[in-house]
Structure 1
Amino acid sequence: MGKIKVGIIFGGKSAEHEVSLQSAKNIVEAIDRKKYDIVLIGIDKNGKWQVNDPSSYLVNADNPKQIKLSKSDENVAIVPGATRNQFIHQSTYDQLDQLDVVFPIVHGTLGEDGSLQGMLRLINLPFVGPSVLGSSVCMDKDVAKRLLKESGVNVAKGLSFTRAKKEKIDYDEAVDYLGTPMFIKPANQGSSVGVSKVSTKEEFEKAVDEAFQYDRKLIIEEGIDGREIECSVLGNEEPKASKLGEILPQSDFYSYESKYIDEKGADLAIPADLPQDVTNKMQQVAVDAFEALQCEGLARVDFFLTDDGEIYVNEVNTLPGFTKISMYPKLWEISGLPYEELINRLIELGLERYQQEKSLRSSMWDQ
Structure 2
Amino acid sequence: MKIALIYNKDIHGVINTFGMQNKEFYNEATVKKVAQSLEKAGHNVAILDGNKQIIERLENFMPKVVDGEQMGMVFNMAYGIQGESRYTHIPSMLEMLGIPYVGSSPSGHALALDKVLTKVIWKNNNLPTPDFWVFNTPEEDLSVVKFPVIVKPKMESVSFGLKVVYNEEDLRESVNFIVKEFQQQALAEQFIRGREFCVGILGNEPVETFPILEIDLNNDPDAIQTVTDKKEAPKRKICPADLPKEVTNEMVRQSIEAFKALQLRDFARVDIRMDENNNIYLLEINSMASMGETGSYPTAAKVAGYDFPKLVNKMLDVAAVRYFSNSLMSELPGEKHKKLSFNSRLRSFLRSRQQNSEKLLEKLVNIDSHVRNIEGVNKCTNIIKEELTQLGFTNEIFPQFEVGNMMYLSNSFDEKLDYLLLLPVDDFLTMPKHESYQETEHHLYGTGVWENKGGIVACISALQALRFSKLIRKTKVGILLITDSSISGKFSKNIIREKANNAKEVLSMHGGGAEGTVITSRSGSASFSYDIKLIDASAAENVTTVSQFFFKTIASIVDLSKNNPENVIAPYQSEFKSNIFKVQAYGSSKISVRFNSMEEFQQAETKIKKLVAIPRSKNRMFQTQFEGGVMRPPMVDSTLNNDLFDRVKSIANSIDARVLPEHRWSSADICNIDQHIPKIDGLGPIGGFDKQKSEYILRHSLIERALLIALLIGKK
State the TM bucket, normalised to the shorter chain. 0.7 to 0.9
Q: Which stretch has the larger CA shift, 281-290 or 202-211?
A: 202-211
Q: Is the 8 A contact 2:133 2:189 kept in 1?
A: yes
Q: Say which of 171, 179, 204 aligns to 1:204.
A: 171
Match of 1:28, SS state, is helix
Q: Is the 8 A contact 1:159 1:219 kept in 2?
A: yes
Partner amino acid, structure 1, of 2:192: I
Q: Is the 8 A contact 2:2 2:73 kept in 1?
A: yes
TM-fit CA distance, 1:197 = 1.8
Q: Does residue 114 of structure 2 align to residue 140 of structure 1?
A: yes
Q: Does residue 278 of structure 2 align to residue 301 of structure 1?
A: no
The residue aligned with 1:87 is 58
The residue aligned with 2:150 is 183
TM-fit CA distance, 1:183 = 1.2
TM-fit CA distance, 1:146 = 0.3
Q: Is the 8 A contact 2:6 2:77 kept in 1?
A: yes
Q: How do residues 162-311 of structure 1 correspond to structure 2 at under 5 angstroms?
A: 163=136, 166=137, 169-174=140-145, 178-180=146-148, 182-212=149-179, 213-249=181-217, 252-259=223-230, 261-262=231-232, 264-311=233-280
Distance 1:209 1:103 in 2: 37
TM-aligned CA distance change 1:170 to 1:318, over 3 Å? same
Distance 1:192 1:169 in 2: 24
TM-fit CA distance, 1:139 = 0.5
The residue aligned with 1:10 is 7
Partner amino acid, structure 2, of 1:281: E
Distance 2:101 2:79 in 1: 15
Question: How many aligned positions are there?
Answer: 302
Q: Is the 8 A contact 1:16 1:107 kept in 2?
A: no
TM-fit CA distance, 1:152 = 0.9
Q: Does residue 75 of structure 2 align to residue 78 of structure 1?
A: no
Q: Which stretch has the larger CA shift, 313-322 or 106-115?
A: 106-115
Q: Percent identity?
A: 23
Q: Is the 8 A contact 1:23 1:321 kept in 2?
A: no
TM-fit CA distance, 1:97 = 4.4
Match of 2:269, SS state, is strand
Match of 2:87, SS state, is coil
Deviations 1:40-69 (A, max 9, x none): 1124xxxx45xxxxxxxxxxxxxxxxxxxx
The residue aligned with 2:132 is 158
Q: Say which of 21, 33, 46 aligns to 1:39.
A: 46
Partner amino acid, structure 1, of 2:186: L
Partner amino acid, structure 2, of 1:331: A
Deviations 1:184-210 (A, max 9, x none): 111111001122222244432221122
Bigger CA radius of gyration: 2
Q: Unpaired segments of 5 or more residues in structure 1?
A: 50-75, 80-85, 89-94, 357-367
Q: Is the 8 A contact 1:101 1:350 kept in 2?
A: no
Q: Does residue 125 of structure 2 align to residue 125 of structure 1?
A: no
Distance 2:182 2:6 in 1: 23
Match of 1:8, SS state, is strand
Distance 2:152 2:295 in 1: 21
Match of 1:243, SS state, is coil
TM-fit CA distance, 1:349 = 1.9
Match of 2:47, SS state, is strand
TM-aligned CA distance change 1:222 to 1:34, over 3 Å? closer
Distance 1:222 1:196 in 2: 12
Deviations 1:254-312 (A, max 9, x none): 111222x22x3311111111112211111111111111110110000111111211110
TM-fit CA distance, 1:116 = 1.8
The residue aligned with 1:106 is 78
TM-aligned CA distance change 1:273 to 1:216, over 3 Å? same
TM-fit CA distance, 1:20 = 5.5
Match of 2:130, SS state, is coil
Distance 1:36 1:112 in 2: 28
Match of 1:354, SS state, is helix
Deviations 1:285-342 (A, max 9, x none): 1111111110110000111111211110010101111112111111111112222111
Distance 2:27 2:112 in 1: 18
Partner amino acid, structure 2, of 1:267: R
Match of 1:35, SS state, is coil
Q: Does residue 307 of structure 2 align to residue 338 of structure 1?
A: yes
Of structures 1 and 2, the one with the larger relative CO (CA 8 A, separation 6+) is 1
Match of 1:231, SS state, is strand
The residue aligned with 1:57 is none
TM-aligned CA distance change 1:305 to 1:26, over 3 Å? farther
Q: Does residue 34 of structure 2 align to residue 27 of structure 1?
A: yes
Distance 2:276 2:239 in 1: 20
TM-fit CA distance, 1:168 = 5.5
Q: Is the 8 A contact 1:229 1:304 kept in 2?
A: yes
Match of 1:316, SS state, is strand
Q: Is the 8 A contact 2:138 2:176 kept in 1?
A: no
Distance 2:33 2:217 in 1: 23
TM-aligned CA distance change 1:112 to 1:284, over 3 Å? farther
Partner amino acid, structure 1, of 2:113: M
Distance 1:206 1:25 in 2: 40
Higher fraction of helix = 2
Distance 1:148 1:324 in 2: 30
Distance 2:260 2:228 in 1: 30
TM-aligned CA distance change 1:102 to 1:77, over 3 Å? closer
Partner amino acid, structure 1, of 2:78: V
TM-aligned CA distance change 1:278 to 1:253, over 3 Å? same
TM-aligned CA distance change 1:272 to 1:349, over 3 Å? same
Partner amino acid, structure 2, of 1:209: N
Distance 2:28 2:169 in 1: 35
Distance 1:265 1:329 in 2: 14
Q: Which stretch has the larger CA shift, 226-235 or 339-348?
A: 339-348
Distance 2:77 2:98 in 1: 18
Q: Which stretch has the larger CA shift, 303-312 or 206-215?
A: 206-215
TM-fit CA distance, 1:351 = 2.0
TM-fit CA distance, 1:147 = 0.3
